[in-house]
């Protein structure tokens, strides 16, 4: 079965949804015979760039155009619709980066079009071209050939060289609004003589994020599910998404600050084989929608929205879940990130659900969990050492300034092989050089302990030697007080998150 997107791909400018600012301009120009040598279409994916390029290409060669529109009946229009028009050449820069294609294009551009008036080159994802291919393309743009028209399309406008841009007529495609998506879906349903329930339609629109192609493809999937009215539950099952009730249960627990039901929902999702990333993303979207509906005083059926603390708690919940999504890249098992988020959000010391009045919503992240704080306190008492203030190695040329100057390089280099160590180093400070010993101040026991282990410390020393040209031994010690000025509140929160991360790793991992 052909996809809806293909089956109902607009064949006229007038059929295109939501890009009237572009199609009207194009139509008017074509009507009066003004054809640019090169066009550049840019904008988010799935907003109609390629479709518009194809209609334009077809119109340029149409034998009996109707104003700005193609006739869709002449042999050249039909050939174009069946991808058989030899004069319309589509190049996907994303798949082969284009140099051979661009060379072939350069060679072939001189020959006359074989069927119609113009040779039209459509280059999709043009930003993917290699520099070499761009240079070749620029040459052809600089020496326009009367019978050749270029239509370049890209989702990443900023990656297209200025030299290319300056030769093109530029059109910016915009993301579809909910209303436009809804109109388009309504149109498709009418064509298919089908119905879906309102909630399901809303679900599609929300998930599509302004992208026509996504919306149409989701609707298409939905329609293949069953013959009758399609409901939102059918679709979540089909797409392997966590059921709405499950996310609702999860969010309700988080709003209340209750760890057990939150963990149960997460573990249930995992046991069903759902992907933690998907679970997190669905939770973020649902929490965001809930928060927005609360602010706008709009109807929302979810249970968590009805909790008294919802509006106060949701910003922190959303932020923490977003952080968890980012953490997924750094944890050995994805569930750790999810568990960490739950610990952060249901920790008694920060559980604001019962004390809504006193909550400071500007505080983005709660303090570390109690067991970790205790741990930190003990360690820092036992291991605190005075900071040595000696400033350099006699005659070795390495002094503290030097170490400080290469510290950012060190962090970057370490990041390549050990992102965790790199994040820790970022939160630490070189404080003195004593003989061959580099004293590094840690503000958290976790960081100090980490670099006490030889397998963590040695790779750093190797890189230090490379950067400094001399061997140094790294000694980490606890700072008794917080860093003077260089650590911002954000850094501190970041450190607390990292601490928690490690604690959760120990607890769950
Ligand atoms: Zn025609």
CA of 17 to the centre of ligand 1 (A): 22
| Residue 377 reports pLDDT greater than 50 | no
Q: Residue 47 contacts by C-beta under 8 Å, 6 or more apart in sequence?
A: 18, 19, 173, 174, 175, 176, 210, 211, 212
Residue closest to 352 by CA, chosen among 324, 310, 405, 388: 310
Gap from CA of 74 to ligand 1 centroid (Å)? 4
Distance 261 CA to ligand 1 centre (A): 63
Q: How far apart are CA 446 and CA 444, in angstroms?
A: 5
Q: State residue 102's pLDDT score.
A: 77
Domains detected in the chain: 4-172 (3.40.50.300), 178-238 (1.10.8.60), 244-358 (1.20.272.10), 383-490 (3.30.300.180)
Choose the weakest-confidence range: 64-73, 289-298, 322-331, 346-355. 346-355
> Can you give the pLDDT at residue 37?
94
Two tokens, residue 405: 């100057």
Neighbouring C-beta atoms of residue 132, cutoff 10 Å: 13
Q: Which of the four pLDDT bands, split at 50, 70 and 90, describes residue 504?
A: low
Q: How far apart are CA 58 and CA 70, in angstroms?
A: 6
Residue 24: its pLDDT value, please? 93
Name the residue among 319, 294, 308, 290 with its Cα closest to residue 352.
308
Sheet holding 473-478, edge to edge: 429-434, 437-442, 473-478
CA angle 51, 57, 62 (to 5 degrees): 120
Greater confidence (364 vs 133) lies with: 133
Handedness of CA 234, 239, 240, 244 (dihedral sign): negative
Instruction: Quote the CA–CA distance of 504 and 509 in Å, as a whole number.
Output: 7
- In this structure, are residues 406 and 468 in contact, taking their beta carbons and an 8 Å threshold? yes
CA of 30 to the centre of ligand 1 (A): 14
Mean pLDDT across 95-112: 76
Residue 97: predicted pLDDT: 62
Helix (H) or strand (E) holding 437: strand 437-442
* pLDDT at 320 (0 to 100): 93
Which among 2, 45, 7, 1 has a CA at the least distance from the CA of 187? 7
Q: What is the pLDDT of residues 468-480, one digit of tens each?
A: 888 888 988 877 6
Query: What is d(CA 48, CA 15) in angstroms, rounded to the nearest whole number?
Result: 11
Task: Calculate mean pLDDT across residues 127-145.
Answer: 88
Spacing, Cα 167 to ligand 1 middle (Å): 28
Q: Is 384 a residue whose pLDDT tops 50?
A: no
Residue 480: the pLDDT is 62
249 alpha carbon – ligand 1 mean position (Å):
57
User: Ligand 1 centre and the CA of 155: distance in Å?
Assistant: 29
C-alpha of residue 64 to centroid of ligand 1, in Å: 5
Q: Is 169 within 8 Å of 40 (Cβ atoms)?
A: yes
> Which token pair is 380?
């820092």
Q: Is the pLDDT of residue 305 over 60?
A: yes
User: How many Å is the maximal CA-CA distance in the chain?
Assistant: 88
Does the pLDDT of residue 160 top 50, yes or no? yes
* 2 CA → ligand 1 middle, Å: 24
Q: List, in sequence order, every residue forming a beta bridge with 150; answer none if it has no partner.
A: 38, 121
pLDDT of residue 360: 39
Identify the residue whose tokens are 């920790």: 347
For ligand 1, the distance from its centroid to the CA atom of residue 69, given in whole angstroms, is: 9
* 101 alpha carbon – ligand 1 mean position (Å): 28
Q: 503, 369 in Cβ contact below 8 A?
A: yes
Ligand 1 midpoint to CA 221 (Å): 33
Which DSSP letter does residue 355 get? G
Residue 486 zone, left/alpha/beta (φ > 0; ψ -120 to 50; rest): alpha
Residue with tokens 């009507």: 31
Q: How far is the CA of 10 from the centre of ligand 1 (A)?
A: 15
Chain-centroid distance of CA 498 in Å reads: 22
Ligand 1 centroid, distance to 19 Cα (angstroms): 22
Ligand 1 center–CA 23 separation, angstroms: 18
Six token digits for residue 17: 């949804």
Q: How far is the CA of 12 from the centre of ligand 1 (A)?
A: 11
| Angle ∠(87,211,294) on CA atoms, nearest 5 | 170
Q: Confidence class of residue 380 from pLDDT cuts 50, 70 and 90?
A: very low
Question: Positive or negative, the Cα torsion across 138, 140, 143, 145?
Answer: negative
For ligand 1, the distance from its centroid to the CA atom of residue 66, given in whole angstroms, is 8
Ligand 1 center–CA 70 separation, angstroms:
5
Give, as one character, the DSSP assignment of residue 85.
Answer: -
Distance CA(45)–CA(155), nearest Å, equals 6
Residues 6+ apart with CB under 8 A from 330: 419, 420
User: Is the model more confident about 44 or about 445?
Assistant: 44
Ligand 1 centre to CA of 83 (Å) is 14
Quote the pLDDT of residue 255.
95
Asked if pLDDT for residue 272 goes beyond 60, the answer is yes
**Cα 86 to averaged position of ligand 1 atoms, centre (Å):** 15
Identify the DSSP state of 273: T
- What the block records as the tokens of 31 is 């009507």
Q: What is the mean pLDDT of the chain?
A: 81
The answer on pLDDT for 444 being more than 60 is: yes
Q: CA–CA separation, 139 vs 408, rounded Å?
A: 42
488: pLDDT strictly greater than 60? no
Q: What is the pTM of this model?
A: 0.58
Q: 60: CA distance to ligand 1 center in Å?
A: 9
Output the CA 229–ligand 1 centroid distance in Å.
Answer: 39
How many C-beta neighbours within 10 Å does residue 27 have? 20
Distance 423 CA to ligand 1 centre (A): 61
For residue 259, give both structure tokens: 């760890």
Q: Is 240 helix (H, G, I), strand (E, B) or coil?
A: coil
Share of the chain above pLDDT 70, in %: 82
Task: Look at residue 117 and tell me whether its pLDDT is greater than 50.
Answer: yes
Ranges 126-135, 377-386, 453-462: which has the least confidence:
377-386
Is the pLDDT confidence value at 65 over 60?
yes
Does the pLDDT value for residue 273 go beyond 90?
no
């Amino acid at each position: 079965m052909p996809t809806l997107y293909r089956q109902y791909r607009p064949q006229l400018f007038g059929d295109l949804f939501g890009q009237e600012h572009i199609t009207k301009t194009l139509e008017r120009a074509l009507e009066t015979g003004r054809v640019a040598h090169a066009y550049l279409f840019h904008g988010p994916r799935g907003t109609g760039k390629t479709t518009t390029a194809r209609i334009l290409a077809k119109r340029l060669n149409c034998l009996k155009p109707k104003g700005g529109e193609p006739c869709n009946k002449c042999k050249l229009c039909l050939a174009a619709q069946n991808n058989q028009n030899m004069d319309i050449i589509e190049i996907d820069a994303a798949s082969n980066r284009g140099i051979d294609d661009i060379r072939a294009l350069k060679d072939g551009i001189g020959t006359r079009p074989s069927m119609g008036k113009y040779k039209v080159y459509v280059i999709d994802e043009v930003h993917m071209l290699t520099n070499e291919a761009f240079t070749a393309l620029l040459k052809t743009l600089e020496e326009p050939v009367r019978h050749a028209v270029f239509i370049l399309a890209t989702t990443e406008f900023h990656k297209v060289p200025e030299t290319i841009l300056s030769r093109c007529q530029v059109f910016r495609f915009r993301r579809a609004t909910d209303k436009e998506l809804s109109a388009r879906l309504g149109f498709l349903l009418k064509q298919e003589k089908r119905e879906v329930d309102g909630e399901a339609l809303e679900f599609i629109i929300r998930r599509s994020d302004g992208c026509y192609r996504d919306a149409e493809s989701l609707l298409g999937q939905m329609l293949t599910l069953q013959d009758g009215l399609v409901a939102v539950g059918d679709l979540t099952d089909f797409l392997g998404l966590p059921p709405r009730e499950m996310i609702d249960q999860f969010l309700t627990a988080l709003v209340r600050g209750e760890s057990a039901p939150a963990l149960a929902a997460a573990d249930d999702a995992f046991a069903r084989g759902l992907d933690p990333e998907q679970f997190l993303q669905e939770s973020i979207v649902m929490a965001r929608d809930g928060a927005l509906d609360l602010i706008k005083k709009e109807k929302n059926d979810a249970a968590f929205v009805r909790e008294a603390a919802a509006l106060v708690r949701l910003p922190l919940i959303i932020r923490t879940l977003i952080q968890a999504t980012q953490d997924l890249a750094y944890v050995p098992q994805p569930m750790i990130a999810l568990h960490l988020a739950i610990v952060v959000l249901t920790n008694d010391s920060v559980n604001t659900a019962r004390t809504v009045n006193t909550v400071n919503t500007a505080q983005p992240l709660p303090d570390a969990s109690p067991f970790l704080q205790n741990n930190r306190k003990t360690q820092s008492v036992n291991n605190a050492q005075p900071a040595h203030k000696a400033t350099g190695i006699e005659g070795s040329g390495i002094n503290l300034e030097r170490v400080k100057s290469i510290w950012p390089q060190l962090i970057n280099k370490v990041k390549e092989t050990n992102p965790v160590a790199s994040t820790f180093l970022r939160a630490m400070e070189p404080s003195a050089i004593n003989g061959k010993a580099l004293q590094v101040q840690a503000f958290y026991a976790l960081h100090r302990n980490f670099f006490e282990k030889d397998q963590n410390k040695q790779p750093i020393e190797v890189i230090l030697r490379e950067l400094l040209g001399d061997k140094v031994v790294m000694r980490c010690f606890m700072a008794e007080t917080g860093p003077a000025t260089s650590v911002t509140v954000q850094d501190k929160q970041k450190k607390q998150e990292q601490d928690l991360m490690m604690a959760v790793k120990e607890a769950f991992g």
